[in-house]
Amino acid sequence: MNTGRTIFSQIMDHIPMHEFHRCVERYHGSYKVQQFSCWDHFLCMAFAQLTYRESLRDIVHCLGAQQSKMYHLGFRSPITKSTLSYANNTRDWRIYADLAAVLTKTAKELYRDEPFSVEITNAVYALDSTTIDLCLSMFPWAKFRQKKGAVKIHTLLDLRDNIPSILAISNGKMHDINALDLLNAQAGAFYIFDRAYIDFSRLHNLSLSCSYFVTRAKSNMQFSRLYSQRVNRSLGTICDQTIRLTGFSTSKDYPDTLRRIKYRDTEHERSLVFITNNFFLPSLTIAQLYKCRWQVELFFKWIKQHLRIKNFYGTSINAVKSQIWIALSVYLIVAIIKKRLKLELSLYTILQILSVSLFEKTPIYQALSDVSPSFQQCEIDNQLYLFNL
């Protein structure tokens, strides 16, 4: 007797179905499809992410063991390994990329009032990439090195809410500098990145768009000092200079003045040199902004640890991209649930609870709120937490 809805179906309620169908229609995902719709495909892959399935056979066997509950989980078609494999290789990955964009917009609305460690009102973004190693013989399209394959995930992370604003997937050969072309520069926003992204012609375009950037200077940067500001060395700032580039190419690529700040990091006993086109914020605030860039590294480490994006269920480029976008959608769904239900648990804890309770027929809030204090105390102290407010 059905006494309620499964937790898995309650999770999927947070996906706007009208938007999902728009994504499917935009890329003709239902063309000549009689069974195993795009929604069934998404449910299978989301189930695999939430329960940490290892392979297509693993997914099919686990769902087959719950055949009597399949309808209540939301599935409307029988699932076989060949059908799921065919869907991974042929269903346009852009369907799930657009769905992730819709969920990103929803999550940003929910987290827009989150506090930020630096007291500024501007939008702050961190741009970086992470590499996922692949076997070149199995993924021949993922060119990286002569005997090694890889894909790169380029991410523009909103540091106020830890929600990716832009995410792009490329083969391992794409240089990080090219990711700057993906930015739709927002006036007044700060873009923070490391030295791999220094291309002064692109940085000048950011400056012309009335955006600000903060990055570290390369050791061989050629410049001349125009004048220096007074600094308080007791706070860690060694110098705050206005400079002009003097290199043959860089002076043409960036003809305007720049601000150069040298800061002493007493925690790690090292000196850091920052360059920025912002001349208004205190030098210490610029250093704090760059320190916040580490959040994008934590984001990459978190999704690699807790989402299935290192081992793939298919070898085609479409299968890999579909799995990554669906994994990101699951991450966003859990973040949305956390905020809507006003939960104090970390995303890691929520994922662990959901992974063992998807087939239960109990209100999702009850399943996530009935956590004993002893369970929370057993968490690892150095575990990475996002949205743990």
Task: List, for residues 32-52, the tens digit of each pLDDT value.
Answer: 888 889 999 999 999 999 999
What are the tens digits of pLDDT across the range 187-196?
A: 999 999 999 9
Q: Is residue 343 situated within a structural domain?
A: yes
* pLDDT grade for 383, boundaries at 50, 70 and 90: low
Mean pLDDT of 334-363: 90
Quote the tokens at residue 180: 């700057």
Q: How many domains does the chain have?
A: 2
pLDDT at 145: 86
Q: Which of 54, 45, 86, 129 minimizes the C-alpha distance to 324?
A: 45
Q: Is residue 88 situated within a structural domain?
A: yes
Same domain, 71 and 21: yes
The answer on pLDDT for 65 being more than 90 is: no
Which pTM was predicted? 0.87
Q: What is the largest CA-CA distance in the chain?
A: 80
Fill in the amino acid letter for 225.
R
pLDDT at 314: 92
Average pLDDT, the chain: 89
- Cα of first residue to Cα of last residue in the chain, in angstroms, is 40
**C-alpha triplet 144, 149, 153: angle, nearest 5°:** 75
Q: Is residue 83 situated within a structural domain?
A: yes
Ranking 59-68, 93-102, 258-267, 373-382 by mean pLDDT, the lowest is 373-382
CA atoms within 13 A on the CB side of 309: 26
Contact (CB, 8 A) for 279 and 214: no
Q: Is residue 110 situated within a structural domain?
A: no
Instruction: Provide, rounded to the nearest whole percent, the portion of the chain with pLDDT above 70.
Output: 94
Return the axis-axis angle of helices 317-340 and 294-306, rounded to nearest 10°.
Answer: 110
Q: Is residue 293 situated within a structural domain?
A: no
Strands (E) across the chain are located at: 124-134, 143-145, 148-158, 163-171, 190-192, 212-216, 223-229, 237-245, 258-265, 270-276
Q: Is residue 270 situated within a structural domain?
A: yes
Q: Is residue 385 situated within a structural domain?
A: no
- Residue finishing a domain among 220, 254, 279: 279
* pLDDT grade for 143, boundaries at 50, 70 and 90: confident
- Residue finishing a domain among 279, 297, 332: 279
Mean pLDDT of 171-192: 90
- Residue finishing a domain among 222, 254, 279: 279
The residue range of the domain holding 359 is: 7-96+313-377
Mean pLDDT of 315-324: 94
pLDDT at 389: 41
Q: Is residue 131 situated within a structural domain?
A: no
What are the tens digits of pLDDT across the range 276-308?
A: 999 999 999 999 999 999 999 999 999 998 888
pLDDT at 64: 86
pLDDT at 275: 96
Same domain, 327 and 262: no
Q: Which residue has the higher pLDDT, 6 or 378?
A: 6
The answer on pLDDT for 1 being more than 80 is: no
Same domain, 86 and 12: yes
Instruction: Provide, rounded to the nearest whole percent, the portion of the chain with pLDDT above 90.
Output: 60
Same domain, 325 and 274: no
Same domain, 328 and 274: no
The answer on pLDDT for 371 being more than 70 is: no
Q: What is the DSSP string of 250-318?
A: HHHH--S-EEEEEEEETTTTEEEEEEES--SS-HHHHHHHHHTTHHHHHHHHHHHHHSS-SS-S--SHH
Same domain, 14 and 85: yes
Backbone angles phi, psi at 186, to 5 degrees: -100, 125
| Domain at 271, CATH number | 2.20.25
Same domain, 321 and 245: no
